[in-house]
Amino acid sequence: MVSITAGEILQFAIRMEENGERFYRQAANNSSEIRVNELFSHLASEEAVHKGSFEELFAKADMFVPPECYPGEYLAYFYNYIDSKVFFSNESKASMSGSFDVLKALDFAIQRELDSVLFYQELKIFVPLADNKTIDAIIDEERRHFAQLSEVKKNFK
Helix pair angle (132-156, 102-123), 10° resolution: 160
Q: How far apart are CA 64 and CA 4, in angstroms?
A: 8
pLDDT tens string 3-52: 566 777 788 888 888 988 999 999 999 988 898 899 999 999 999 999 99
Whether 1 maps to a domain, the answer reads: no
The residue type at 23: F
Q: How many domains does the chain have?
A: 1
Task: Note whether residue 42 is domain-resident.
Answer: yes
Is residue 64 domain-resident? Answer: yes
Q: What is the pLDDT of residues 39-88, one digit of tens each?
A: 999 999 999 999 999 898 888 877 667 777 888 787 777 677 666 655 55
What's the pLDDT at 41? 96
Q: Supply the CATH number for residue 28's domain.
A: 1.20.1260.10
d(CA 46, CA 44): 5
Specify if 89 maps to a domain: yes
Q: From 53, 43, 56, 45, select the one nearest 112 (Cα to Cα).
A: 43
- Contact call for residues 12 and 63 (beta carbons, < 8 A): no
- Residue span of the structural domain in which 90 resides: 6-156
Residue 2 has pLDDT above 50, yes or no: no
- Asked, for residue 20, whether it belongs to a domain, the answer is yes
Residue 36 maps to a domain: yes
CA atoms within 13 A on the CB side of 4: 12
Residue 123 has pLDDT above 80, yes or no: no
Burial class (CB in 10 A: 0-12, 13-18, 19+), 83: middle
Q: Are 47 and 17 in contact (CB under 8 A)?
A: yes
Is 67 part of a structural domain of the chain? yes
In a domain, 61, yes or no: yes
Task: Compute the average pLDDT of residues 105-118.
Answer: 89
Greater model confidence, 136 or 3: 136
